[in-house]
Amino acid sequence: MLNHMTLLSLFAFQDYLVVFLISVILALGIGFLVGFVLQKQIIQKKIGVTKDIVNKMIEDAKNETKTIKKEALLEAKEEILKLRAEFERETKEGRAKIQRSETRLMQKEELLDKKEEALNKRNEALENMQRGLTQKENELKALEDEVKKSHARMLEELEKVAQMTKEEAKNVLINNMVEEAKKDAAIMIRDIEAKTKADADKKAKEVLSLAIAKCSTDHVSEVTVSTVALPSDDMKGRIIGREGRNIRALESATGIDIIIDDTPEVVILSGFDPIRREIAKITLEKLIIDGRIHPARIEEMVEKVKKDVDNQIKETGEAACFDAGVYGVHPELIKLLGRLKYRTSYGQNVLKHSLEVAFLAGAMAGELGTDINLAKRAGLLHDIGKAVDYEVEGTHIQIGADLAKKYRESKEVLNAILAHHGDAEPLTLEAVLVQASDAISGARPGARRETLENYVKRLEKLEQISNSFPGVEKSFAVQAGREIRIIVKPEVVDDAQTVFMAKEIARKIEQELEYPGQIKVNVIRELRSVEYAK
């Protein structure tokens, strides 16, 4: 019974629940439909409002476009009016210019017509003159022919009277005049030279004596020694090393030949480059003191010494400029000056020689009242080419001039370098002073020396040059080749010709010989009249 009632209750609740759910579903559907209708109406309202706004904006845009179009048309019309006015103005100006040009052309045409008429008249006059000149030329030619015939007849008569041809008479006259002129010129030259030398020698001696007195230098030049002293002969074996490794490494690193011979406790260094030779010498001395001699140590020591020598070269150049009182020299020229410390010429140290020339030139410039600074600068740099003359082709004069030009030295210094051996004409007094100072420095006793072989060859060449002149009987080189005495035949060479002969011999010596200082050419003519009393 209970079960039956329970089932009936459950069925009734189920039906109620179904009805409730259907009611809810229907309510939701009705609500959705109502909402959809309302939403549609709202959207339609919004669309209407939007259409009104868009229509209004379109209308405003159309109105604004019309306004802009009107303004643009007005501006375009104004611009067109301006352009038209400017075009009309330019057209008027162009027409005026054209009119003026036409007027000028018409005037020029009139002038040309007038000039053409004048030229025609001149041409006619010239033609008439030319015809007259032609007639006169013919008359002159006839007269000239007559004169030539008369001159020829006169020459024939003169040749008959003188018994000489025209060319023979001319040569005799010319030879006589040349001989007389030579004699007169030689006498005048001798008188003038004697007078000039008397005055110049006095002044030159004063200037030179004062300059030399102010310059105090060593009388014996410093000689660069290319030998290294050893503490004992056992050190030679250590320098050579096992199978010659050490000596090969040292020669390869320095570029200098190392000669180890039987000379006791001495090693000889041979090489053309004085700086490399100095590096090799210092390196070897330091290795001997250090005691550690092997290829690695040798390369390390060579590099260290190279840096030290470069610094020494720079300091030496700066010290030379300071001592000479020369400032503002290019750094590269200063380094080249320092390299001259290791360069010699005829045994004379070139750096000391350059300083000496600078001092002498400055002292003489002070006495003569010329530029002292320029004279010192030119004297200090006159042999700068010798610092690299074993590396660069050419004479030390040309190399020095190129270096001075490269590092922007003045034209006066450049000329002094070129002229200090007579390769160029000295253009300034300072260049002449550098020439004189260079000769004084090289000619002083003990300054320079040369090998016996070169010395003998120079003397022989000097006598050979002198003997090559006609009329020379004997010649003798004396005073270590600084003077050549020439004895001439008195019956061939007269007193006047000795002056010319001395100049020609001196000029030939300058062209063919290289020598330090200067050479005095002394031509001697002696006439002896001998007679015996019987």
pLDDT at 497: 82
Domain boundary, last residue among 52, 73, 90: 90
Number of domains in the chain: 4
Least confident of 220-234, 315-329, 366-380: 220-234
HSE-up of residue 328 (Cα within 13 Å, Cβ side)? 7
Q: Is residue 268 domain-shared with residue 323, that is, in the same domain?
A: yes
Location of structure tokens 């002229």: 419
pLDDT at 2: 47
pLDDT at 155: 67
For the sheet containing 227-229, what is the strand order? 227-229, 266-270, 257-259
- Check pLDDT > 70 for residue 328: yes
Distance between CA atoms of residues 149 and 157, nearest Å: 12
Q: What is the pLDDT confidence band of residue 249, given thresholds at 50, 70 and 90?
A: confident
Question: pLDDT tens for residues 2-53?
Answer: 455 666 666 666 766 777 788 778 888 787 787 777 777 787 777 877 878 8
Q: Is residue 496 domain-shared with residue 362, that is, in the same domain?
A: no
Compute the average pLDDT of residues 489-503: 84
Neighbours of 403 (CB within 10 A): 22
The amino acid that residue 180 corresponds to is E
Question: pLDDT tens for residues 61-119?
Answer: 888 888 888 888 888 888 888 888 888 888 888 888 888 888 888 888 888 888 888 88
Domain boundary, last residue among 49, 67, 90: 90
Higher pLDDT, 205 or 297: 297
Distance between CA atoms of residues 61 and 511, nearest Å: 107
Q: Is residue 67 domain-shared with residue 176, that is, in the same domain?
A: no
Which structural domain, as residue segments, surrounds residue 77? 27-90
- Check pLDDT > 60 for residue 362: yes
Percent of the chain predicted with pLDDT > 90: 4
- Check pLDDT > 70 for residue 517: no
Higher pLDDT, 349 or 179: 349
Angle between helices 396-406 and 411-419 (to 10 degrees): 170
pLDDT at 373: 92
Neighbours of 286 (CB within 10 A): 14
Q: Is residue 518 domain-shared with residue 393, that is, in the same domain?
A: no
Q: Is residue 520 domain-shared with residue 481, that is, in the same domain?
A: yes
DSSP secondary structure letters along 502-529? HHHHHHHHHHH---SS--EEEEEE----
Q: Is residue 433 domain-shared with residue 484, that is, in the same domain?
A: no
- Check pLDDT > 60 for residue 173: yes
| Geometric angle at alpha carbon 334, from 328 and 336, rounded to 5° | 145
* Contacts of 364 by beta carbon, 8 Å cutoff, 6+ apart: 207, 208, 210, 211, 375, 433, 436, 437
Domain membership flag for residue 484: yes
Give backbone dihedrals phi and psi of 348, rounded to 5 degrees, phi first: -95, 130
Q: Is residue 494 domain-shared with residue 355, that is, in the same domain?
A: no
Bridge partners, 475 (sequence order) = 486
Tokens read off for 428: 């300034």
Question: pLDDT tens for residues 185-213?
Answer: 666 666 666 666 666 555 655 555 555 55
Q: Is residue 43 domain-shared with residue 173, that is, in the same domain?
A: no
Mean pLDDT, all residues of the chain: 80
Q: Is residue 151 domain-shared with residue 172, that is, in the same domain?
A: yes
Bridge partners, 259 (sequence order) = 268
Q: Is residue 292 domain-shared with residue 166, that is, in the same domain?
A: no
Q: Could you give the 3-state DSSP secondary structure of residue 264?
A: coil
Domain membership flag for residue 136: no
Q: What is the pLDDT confidence band of residue 377, given thresholds at 50, 70 and 90?
A: very high
Least confident of 216-225, 281-290, 402-411: 216-225
Q: Is residue 495 domain-shared with residue 532, that is, in the same domain?
A: yes
CATH number of domain containing 465:
3.30.70.1350
**Which pTM does this prediction carry?**
0.49
Question: pLDDT tens for residues 207-236?
Answer: 555 555 555 454 444 444 467 888 887 788
Torsion, CA 285, CA 290, CA 296, CA 300, rounded to 10 = -70
Q: Is residue 166 domain-shared with residue 66, that is, in the same domain?
A: no
Percent of the chain predicted with pLDDT > 70: 81
